A = this chain, B = another copy of it.
Amino acid sequence: MSTSPPTDQASDAGRSSNSAAFSPLYQQIKGLLLQSLDRGEWKPGEAIPSELELAGRFQVSQGTVRKAIDELAAENLLIRRQGKGTFVATHHEAKVRFRFLRLTPDDAKQSLSGSQVLECRRVKAPADIAALLDLRTADMVVNIRRLLSFDQIPTILDDIWLPGSVFRGLTADSLGRYRGPLYALFESEFGVSMVRAEEKIRAVPATHDQAELLQVAAGSPVLQVERVSYTYGDRPMEVRRGVYVTERFHYKNSLN
């Protein structure tokens, strides 16, 4: 490989004084890396080429590649491991199992004791979901409802919406057999990596249905969390409406 000619050479934009739309080299490299990630050239959990190899491929210095990777690592798309290499982030792995779950037990360690799939059906996208997922209302979506319990106590009721064209073959059956985080399943089975999410949180009274499933009184306050998750390129790929019981748990957040 060491003598192979460059194939993906970065453009020269940014090397001269074009003041309009100036983009630093490392940002362009970052863009190329993002494309490779999106394209699936390197799969979640795999190592990407070493910094020197990438520097050779793009015909830039190692330092420039490094800065591009630094930013991707800061965004949790890549994970650096000294002495080993740089790896594509994945939702498989105990450490990041709750990467997007901010609900935390008030005391001690409570652990996920079960995920019960209540429903999994394919329907035409409701207007609000279609808008959030950049779909038309004619498009099909997969709707999943499930109940998560911690130490046998039902705590989270999720209502999940996924674009049907991407998540073909996702059924109640395949979900029922699966153990582990949904986002890991999305990676392995559908090639969809969730990279970022936005949440809107409110306090609302539990509906009768929700109350029954969560074993609380109807109308009692619950946390309503609407999440939109994005893959590479900020493409929305999931809407998740969660209802959390916050009697023994709280939503934890850090402000910087």
Q: Which residues of A contact B (CB under 8 A)?
A: 74-76, 99-100, 102, 104, 196-205, 220-224, 227, 244, 246, 250-256
Contacts and interface: CB of A to CB of B under 8 A. Distances in A.
A100 B201 CA distance: 16
A70 to B, nearest CB: 9
Contacts of A252: 198-201
A201 B251 contact: yes
Contacts of A256: 75-76, 196
Contacts of A254: 196-199
Copy tally for this chain in the complex stands at 2
Contact of A255 (B196, B204, B220, B224): B196
Nearest to A251: B201
A223 B202 contact: yes
Contacts of A204: 203, 221, 246
A150 to B, nearest CB: 15
A88 to B, nearest CB: 15
A253 B198 CA distance: 6
B201 A223 contact: yes
Nearest to A195: B256
Contacts of A220: 205, 221
A77 to B, nearest CB: 9
B200 A222 contact: no
Contact of A203 (B76, B246, B253): B246
Please give me the 6 A-B residue pairs with the lowest Cβ-Cβ distance, nearest first.
A221-B221, A203-B203, A203-B221, A202-B246, A201-B251, A197-B255
A76 B256 CA distance: 7
Q: Looking at A74, A246, A253, which has the most chain B CB atoms within 10 Å of its CB?
A: A253
Q: Looking at A99, A198, A200, which has the most chain B CB atoms within 10 Å of its CB?
A: A200
A199 to B, nearest CB: 5
A253 B221 contact: no
A99 B74 CA distance: 20
A255 B198 contact: yes
A250 B198 contact: no
Contacts of A223: 201-203, 223
B205 A221 contact: yes
A250 B202 CA distance: 5
Contacts of A251: 200-202
Contact of A201 (B196, B201, B205): B201
A156 to B, nearest CB: 13
A197 B255 CA distance: 5
